[in-house]
Structure 1
Amino acid sequence: MIFDWSYGFAVAMTVRAAQEVMLHHHFNLEVDGVLDTLFEIYGNMVDEEMAKEEIEPFTFLLVLRKL
């Protein structure tokens, strides 16, 4: 599978790195091509939204402390 190296691709691969195992186990996926297609579509959607307007990324931090 060939991806364009774009902002959407970078976002899709970052999300994939964090979510792939969970999605694989949750949906009991036996074929890896399903996730390839899913994240390719997701990357394209991010690129389309970026073309419409600038997307402002945000970061949040959660600190848990034992009382």
Structure 2
Amino acid sequence: MIFDWSYGFAVAMTVRTTQEVMLRHHFDLEVDGVLDTLFEIYGNMVDEEMAKEEIEPFTFLLVLRKL
């Protein structure tokens, strides 16, 4: 199956999967509409920046260790 998603949409959905629970808890959100709009705007912003110049993605790893 091939999806016709923009790069910004893919980035927004990836970020949403990792941040949605934290945002819901922090802002006490119970409706999806607010987050749907937020990540739609974020995806559009990523697409706009990609149109200006190539954005190089990066990955980082953080290890927390109890002392």
Scaled by the length of structure 2, the TM-score of the pair is 0.84
2: CA distance, partners of 1:34 / 1:26: 13
> Structure 2 matches for 1:7-46, cutoff 5 A?
7-46=7-46
1:6-42 CA-partner distances (Å, limit 9, x unpaired): 0000000000000000000100012110000000000
Give the direction of change, closer, same or farther, for the CA distance of 1:63–1:31 in structure 2 (3 Å limit): closer
Give identity over the alignment, percent.
94
Q: Give the drift of 1:64.
A: 4.8
Q: Which runs of 5+ in 1 are unaligned?
A: none
Scaled by the length of structure 1, the TM-score of the pair is 0.84
1: CA distance, partners of 2:26 / 2:3: 25
1: CA distance, partners of 2:7 / 2:28: 29
Q: Which runs of 5+ in 2 are unaligned?
A: none
Structure 1: 4+ residue segments shifted above 6 A? 1-4
The total of aligned residue pairs comes to 67
Aligned-residue CA RMSD (Å): 3.4
Give the direction of change, closer, same or farther, for the CA distance of 1:66–1:35 in structure 2 (3 Å limit): closer
Is 1:54 the counterpart of 2:33? The answer is no
1:37-58 CA-partner distances (Å, limit 9, x unpaired): 0000000000000000000111
